[in-house]
Chains A and B, each alone.
Chain A
Amino acid sequence: MTGKTDFITMQVIRYAMEQIADEMGHTLVRTARSTVIKEIMDISCAVFDHKGRTIAQAHHAPMLLTGLEITMSRLLQEYPPGMLQDGDIIISNDPYMGGQHIMDVQLFAPVFFEGELVGYVGSLAHMVDMGGASPGGVAGGVNEIYLEGLRLPMVKLYKGYKEDKEIFGILQNNIRVPHVTLGDIRAMASCNYVGVRRLQDVFTKYGVETVQDATAMLMDYSERRMREGLQAIPDGTYTGVDYIDDDGLSDDPIKIQINIIKKGDGIKVNFDGTSKQVKGNINCPIATTYAGVYYTIICVVDPSVAANSGCYRPVKLDVEEGLIVNPRMPGAVASRTNTSQKIVEAMLKAFSTAIPDRVVAGSHGQISTCAFSSYDKKGRRFVYTEIQGGGAGARPTKDAREGQDSHLARFMNTPVEAAEMEFPVRVECYEFIPDTGGAGKFRGALSMRKDIRFLCDNVSFARYGDRQKFGPFGLFGGSEGAMGRFILNPGKPGEKRMRSKGLDTLQYDDVISLQLPGGGGYGNPLERDPELVKQDVLDGKISLATAKDTYGVILNPADLAVQQQATEQQRQEMGKIALK
């Protein structure tokens, strides 16, 4: 134990810091304007020390949280101490300055105490619009960053608590819905100022030395927990591979390869074997790549650790420039989530051989993000955004929780009634699709399907999705989950499968069926408890035929009773065939 503090003070200050991050998050959610922030909660807030290291995070999207640290380090280069004053706020959304994608705007504020720069607070939120080629910024198949929206380098949006008129003016002129986006940005600023004040309170209460000792100790503590967790994982080199369908422009699959070198209490990760960057906007900026890697390692090593900068210390990343996971300018990046999700998937596959009881099978592995835009009856432009994942992968001890989202992001769906009241649409179905969860001793989650009918003309349909050519992987004998599909006018003349990424126009009465990927299974389906198979058939989650052909369970068609002997026989025979 060094310095002025002790373990108990460390914990007390940790709670105070978490409280600041939470209060920032609540302030942002309550004051923002857009549904993306308020209902979907695509945001993050964090508190940093004077060196830009994360002390505490609010409980939002891990993808954004773990990436903030990378942005912070860039900010310290751009604005070394001395260039910032009390009340300043820096804005940026530049994927090439440590940002995520253009739609994710980040605001950082320095915190001064008795004239000294003692820390920073930061917030990040997904904007409804930032200009660019398509409303909502989510069209797939875009080929350079310039088309994706207004790209702000790190600039001072507020100077000494005052708005910078010029920058607000530039924003105002370049955004389709300035009243919403500027409202959201102002909400972020007030959330940052709440953070500044609260952090100053903590310094007043405990003094600079105690707080800095406690936060340093807190990071050491998290580092120690991570290192102990890593120590328990067998040494070795583990490789995992997954594929992205395509970049929305060509049809070529894109390879994500992760090589994990685990030695002692440290871990090295490189991407040797991964595809080069691509033309389509699926490139993954470096902050997002780090986020995917950090997220997965925390999940499998110590999910209850205090998530701060110390967690990242045992992890060394080596990411060559020019790969899809570290693109060069002017690579387009809007739909990077499809890539970051695959980073997680490939890492889980790699870890599965070392720590089979800590990983999950493949999940939806993408985020189907769709923006529908046209004019409503009153002649007003609307942008209707649907952000959906899909099924999660099965786990070593239990089935996936049907309907529940999986990695990195943490969003909510848009209620059917909310959509219909606000936009000229009718949702015709929002249900599971039977027989789409990967079979296994534990079953992957079913696919979901949402069918939307449009009641207006000339609707632009911008979207990016994935896992429509490569399904979510199963583990240890579990089978793949179903792939996703976007179908235009299902079951009707003119039925057509649409590309996973692109921009099209829909007309009055067109129905678009968004069918999401399911989750992969875990373990041999022949080892699944026949009673669980029976329940799945009863629930209509799998068919009677699947029970027999995939799980080897024979049920009496009348009352679905498990026929023990027939089942044993069926499973034995299937086992023999599998051996051959």
Chain B
Amino acid sequence: MRIGIDVGGTFTDIVAIDDVTGQFHYAKTLTTYPNLWEGVLEGIARILDKTGWTMDQVNYIVHGTTIGTNALIEKKGAKTGLITTEGFMDVLEIGRVQRPNEALYDFFIDNPLPLVPRYLRKGVPERVNAEGEVLLPLDEEKVREVLQYFKEQNVESVAVCLLFAFQNPAHERRIAEICAEVFPEAYISLSSEIAPEFREFERSSTTVINAYLQPVMKRYISQLTKELEKKYGKIDLRIMQASGGTITAEAAEKFAINTVNSGPAGGVLAGSFIGNITERKKLISVDMGGTSFDIGLIDGGIPKITSEAKFDGYPIKIPVIDIDAIGAGGGSIAWIDKGGALNVGPQSAGAAPGPSCYGKGGRLPAVTDANLVLGRLNEEYFLGGEMSLRKDLAYQAIKEHVADPLGMSVEEAAAGIIRIINAKMSKGISVNSVEKGSDVREFTLVAFGGAGPLHAVELAVELEMQAVVVPPICGGFSAVGLLVSDVRYDFVQTMIRSSDDIDLGQLNEIYKELEQKGIAQLTAERFNLQDMELVWSVDLRYEGQSYELNVPVDRGENLGKKDVEKIIERFHALHEKLYAYSSQEEEVQFVNLRVTAIGKTPPVEFKTESLTGKNGAEGLKGSRPVYFEGHGFIDTPIYERDRLLSGSRFTGPAVVEETISSTLVTPGASCYVDEFGNLILTWGEV
């Protein structure tokens, strides 16, 4: 048995799976501020209660925490000091100098301020060159002086980022030793450990974020493990990372940055799981909640990973699941600008006061209001009937702020709101996939989150995608990612070399070293060698390019010339696939060597139902007028999802309602309930 707990902004979702029967359980509780661990404990108690299990039946718990994400967004991290190579203390503030996208014509929009102010950034004399040779030894006296100063300034955490430390970490390590000696109570983050890759600004940014979050994470995890132990004894607690793999609670304290944005990563991972069981290898996952629309890409059954992510404007140079977020959700507010055009978002009514129809004081029209006016949502059955929606307030808000100013009916205005938010989301999906070199038409859309399934079919039809899959429990679906995640540690070492200039000895040595680190870590977590997967890869580029492509490397005792040739061939092929050209005559450069050490968790076997359903009549619970683009209002059958039998198939127009969400089946589209309880929606020729 295993349990997953995902702490979100409003709710904490708890999922559990019975490894024997494949039975899946779900519960939720309110997230508890400021002591999030209270909600976590409450959630565990609730799921144990629901399943009837005792804690000794549980093999492990995977926890997705937003502690790091929140501290970064709210700028509530630790007071941090930064040590750099002398002459480079301002790299963190200068950044890459480019103004943000939104600042094209706007003088007042800025990049975020550095997390470490200038008075806490100090350079120390030392220098290593691009080959890793020491040109100037470390001035240890100066290091002591700086640490003493940090101590006086009440610094809690120290980040160290020296030039070319990824080639030769000796000076950074020496600083850590001195720190342990003169300032032992400080937390320390070394760039050569956190993100040993070239580009000093991005590496500094990553190291600083880690330092900034480390004390916050440590406090939270210590408290949580203490409380858990008090109640249940010792527990195998694993923490979700943004890479889609888990690490031990202890490792999460050290690599605090790895947890940033891990919640949405769980969603994409869950999407890939659904893709694998339904045998769909190319998916785009969309998680649409109240304020944001998170887009992930899954190709070959594996979520797309990037090392070029940004969070809250700060570069994060560690491998993470590539997620694009745009400001579109059920709470996105519709407004008319000064030129008279209708816009939707990015401002959101959020959960409080929420859309007008929540009746909690919100007076502005939101996407949920439009869905309600168009009959797509059931006013009596929101959150499974826990909350009723006020159609009159939704109607009033749209009339006042959209319909009257534009001289149209409320229904027309509501339809317009939906068309605009859909256009925004389809633009987001499309640009995102082009950026990643993929053709959206080859993909299936996996839609979840409270609002996702309401918009999914319209989006997928617009983008000419293959199909839509709406997984079961789509409100708390992200948490499923926790259950299916493996243990994962990523190791990287920069080695910049032209392919004709590779030192095979060095290459093999680095891979061996990285792999040993991985094996040691997983062994300590009691994994046997046969349950470990050690994945080698390398980032390559054509000389002069500044983006790298990650290419798999066949693991081997002694990589030789032939292996290098094979790697290069793969690079050309991948380049051709992604960018429509490759250049055999051009020099290929090795940039980063990577080893990912995965500790395989037992595969999750979802319980299947026999396909006894026919036309879904068992789920039919009534009908109401629902608006569809190009058709207007049509009297539409309403289904209760929980009652639908696997194997059922019916055609739209239809609405399938469930506790936290509703799926809109457009006229002509077909809805099939598969053996796992997924809704599979298709259209066109089918």
Question: Is residue B129 contacting chain A, with contact meaning CB distance below 8 A?
Answer: yes
In B403-437, which residues have CB < 8 Å from any A CB? 406, 415-416, 419-420, 423-424, 427, 430-431, 434-435, 437
In B53-103, which residues have CB < 8 Å from any A CB? 87-91, 93-99, 101
Is there contact, CB below 8 Å, between A431 and B87? yes
Known contacts A8-B420, A22-B431, A401-B111: does B94 contact A539 (CB below 8 Å)? no
Chain A nearest CB from B607 CB (Å) reads 41
Chain B nearest CB from A398 CB (Å) reads 8
Question: Is residue A578 contacting chain B, with contact meaning CB distance below 8 A?
Answer: no
Chain B nearest CB from A402 CB (Å) reads 6
Is there contact, CB below 8 Å, between A404 and B111? yes
Is there contact, CB below 8 Å, between A26 and B423? no
Question: Is residue B219 contacting chain A, with contact meaning CB distance below 8 A?
Answer: no
Please, what's the 1-or-0 string for B634-674, where 1 marks a CB less than 8 Å from any CB in chain A? 00000000000000000000000000000000000000000
Which listed residue, B89, B105, B586, touches A295 by the CB 8 Å rule? B105
Chain B nearest CB from A265 CB (Å) reads 13
Is there contact, CB below 8 Å, between A224 and B98? no
Which listed residue, A10, A30, A33, A538, touches B542 by the CB 8 Å rule? A33
Chain A nearest CB from B121 CB (Å) reads 9
A-B CB contacts (within 8 Å), total count: 191
Question: Is residue A412 contacting chain B, with contact meaning CB distance below 8 A?
Answer: yes
Is there contact, CB below 8 Å, between B98 and A412? yes
Chain A nearest CB from B96 CB (Å) reads 4
Question: Is residue A321 contacting chain B, with contact meaning CB distance below 8 A?
Answer: no
Question: Is residue B343 contacting chain A, with contact meaning CB distance below 8 A?
Answer: yes
| Interface-lining segment among A164-172, A414-422, A474-482 | A414-422
Chain A nearest CB from B358 CB (Å) reads 25
| Interface-lining segment among A11-19, A78-86, A96-104 | A11-19
Known contacts A15-B424, A417-B198: does B97 contact A403 (CB below 8 Å)? yes
Is there contact, CB below 8 Å, between A307 and B105? yes
Is there contact, CB below 8 Å, between B427 and A18? yes
Is there contact, CB below 8 Å, between A405 and B97? yes
Chain B binding surface SS class = loop
Look across to chain A and name the residue whose beta carbon is closest to the beta carbon of B112.
A401
| Interface-lining segment among A34-42, A247-255, A483-491 | A34-42
In A21-78, which residues have CB < 8 Å from any B CB? 22-23, 26-27, 30-31, 33-35, 38-39, 41, 59, 62
Question: Is residue A353 contacting chain B, with contact meaning CB distance below 8 A?
Answer: no
Is there contact, CB below 8 Å, between B98 and A10? no
Is there contact, CB below 8 Å, between B341 and A11? yes
Chain B nearest CB from A367 CB (Å) reads 11
Is there contact, CB below 8 Å, between B339 and A416? no
Chain B nearest CB from A110 CB (Å) reads 22
Known contacts A403-B94, A412-B96: does B545 contact A19 (CB below 8 Å)? no
Which listed residue, A23, A38, A303, A429, touches B107 by the CB 8 Å rule? A303
Look across to chain B and name the residue whose beta carbon is closest to the beta carbon of A540.
B118
Look across to chain B and name the residue whose beta carbon is closest to the beta carbon of A35.
B546
Interface size on B, residues (CB 8 A): 64
Is there contact, CB below 8 Å, between B339 and A222? yes
Known contacts A179-B586, A295-B105: does B341 contact A221 (CB below 8 Å)? yes
| Chain B contacts for A12, CB-based, 8 A | 419-420, 423
Question: Is residue A395 contacting chain B, with contact meaning CB distance below 8 A?
Answer: yes
Determine which residue in A35, A402, A535 has the highest number of CB atoms from chain B within 10 A of its CB, and name it. A402
A66 to B107, CA, bound (A): 17
Known contacts A30-B437, A30-B579, A410-B99: does B107 contact A299 (CB below 8 Å)? yes
Please, what's the 1-or-0 string for A209-240, where 1 marks a CB less than 8 Å from any CB in chain B? 00000000000011011001000000000000
In B94-134, which residues have CB < 8 Å from any A CB? 94-99, 101, 104-108, 110-111, 113, 117-119, 129-130
Chain B nearest CB from A81 CB (Å) reads 30
A422 to B545, CA, bound (A): 11
A560 to B211, CA, bound (A): 27
A411 to B90, CA, bound (A): 19
Question: Is residue A186 contacting chain B, with contact meaning CB distance below 8 A?
Answer: yes
A405 to B88, CA, bound (A): 19
A420 to B580, CA, bound (A): 30
Is there contact, CB below 8 Å, between B434 and A23? yes
Is there contact, CB below 8 Å, between A431 and B89? yes
Is there contact, CB below 8 Å, between A417 and B130? yes
Which listed residue, B88, B341, B416, B434, touches A431 by the CB 8 Å rule? B88
Known contacts A16-B423, A23-B434: does B106 contact A429 (CB below 8 Å)? no
Question: Is residue A360 contacting chain B, with contact meaning CB distance below 8 A?
Answer: yes
Chain A nearest CB from B324 CB (Å) reads 12
In A385-401, which residues have CB < 8 Å from any B CB? 388-389, 395, 397-398, 401
| Chain B contacts for A538, CB-based, 8 A | 119
Known contacts A35-B544, A402-B93, A418-B546: does B586 contact A26 (CB below 8 Å)? no
Which listed residue, A35, A304, A412, A541, touches B106 by the CB 8 Å rule? A304
Is there contact, CB below 8 Å, between B343 and A11? yes
Is there contact, CB below 8 Å, between B107 and A34? no
Chain A nearest CB from B398 CB (Å) reads 13
Is there contact, CB below 8 Å, between B96 and A413? yes
A298 to B107, CA, bound (A): 11
| Chain B contacts for A426, CB-based, 8 A | 129
Which listed residue, B98, B129, B200, touches A415 by the CB 8 Å rule? B200
Is there contact, CB below 8 Å, between A413 and B94? yes
A190 to B481, CA, bound (A): 38
Look across to chain B and name the residue whose beta carbon is closest to the beta carbon of A402.
B93
Question: Is residue A208 contacting chain B, with contact meaning CB distance below 8 A?
Answer: no
| Chain A contacts for B339, CB-based, 8 A | 221-222, 224-225, 228, 305
Is there contact, CB below 8 Å, between B424 and A415? no
A84 to B517, CA, bound (A): 62
Look across to chain B and name the residue whose beta carbon is closest to the beta carbon of A423.
B130
Question: Is residue A180 contacting chain B, with contact meaning CB distance below 8 A?
Answer: yes
Is there contact, CB below 8 Å, between A404 and B99? yes
Is there contact, CB below 8 Å, between B117 and A539? yes
Is there contact, CB below 8 Å, between A430 and B430? no
| Chain B contacts for A416, CB-based, 8 A | 88, 91, 163, 200
Which listed residue, B430, B496, B545, B586, touches A421 by the CB 8 Å rule? B496
A397 to B118, CA, bound (A): 22
Known contacts A30-B437, A221-B339, A298-B105: does B164 contact A417 (CB below 8 Å)? yes
Is there contact, CB below 8 Å, between B119 and A539? yes
Question: Is residue A432 contacting chain B, with contact meaning CB distance below 8 A?
Answer: yes
| Chain A contacts for B431, CB-based, 8 A | 19, 22-23, 26
Question: Is residue B578 contacting chain A, with contact meaning CB distance below 8 A?
Answer: yes
| Chain B contacts for A448, CB-based, 8 A | 90, 94
| Chain A contacts for B118, CB-based, 8 A | 432, 539-541
A451 to B341, CA, bound (A): 50
| Chain A contacts for B24, CB-based, 8 A | none
Known contacts A401-B110, A410-B98, A415-B200: does B342 contact A8 (CB below 8 Å)? yes
Is there contact, CB below 8 Å, between A31 and B87? no
Which listed residue, B91, B199, B435, touches A26 by the CB 8 Å rule? B435
Extra 5 A-B pairs, beta carbons < 8 Å, given A389-B97, A405-B97: A8-B419, A27-B434, A30-B547, A59-B104, A540-B119
Residues on A facing B (Cβ under 8 Å): 7-12, 15-16, 18-19, 22-23, 26-27, 30-31, 33-35, 38-39, 41, 59, 62, 179-180, 183, 186, 190, 194, 221-222, 224-225, 228, 295, 298-299, 302-305, 307, 359-360, 388-389, 395, 397-398, 401-406, 410-413, 415-418, 420-422, 426, 428-432, 448, 451, 535, 538-541
Which 9 pairs, one residue from A and one from B, show the smallest C-beta to C-beta distance?
A429-B87, A539-B118, A403-B94, A8-B416, A225-B339, A303-B106, A401-B110, A39-B546, A303-B105
Residues on B facing A (Cβ under 8 Å): 87-91, 93-99, 101, 104-108, 110-111, 113, 117-119, 129-130, 163-164, 198-201, 337-343, 406, 415-416, 419-420, 423-424, 427, 430-431, 434-435, 437, 496, 542, 544-547, 578-581, 583, 586
Some 23 contacts from A to B, beta carbons below 8 A apart, are A7-B340, A7-B406, A8-B342, A8-B415, A22-B431, A23-B434, A26-B435, A30-B547, A31-B579, A39-B546, A41-B98, A180-B544, A183-B583, A190-B580, A295-B105, A305-B339, A307-B104, A389-B97, A395-B107, A398-B108, A403-B93, A422-B544, A429-B87
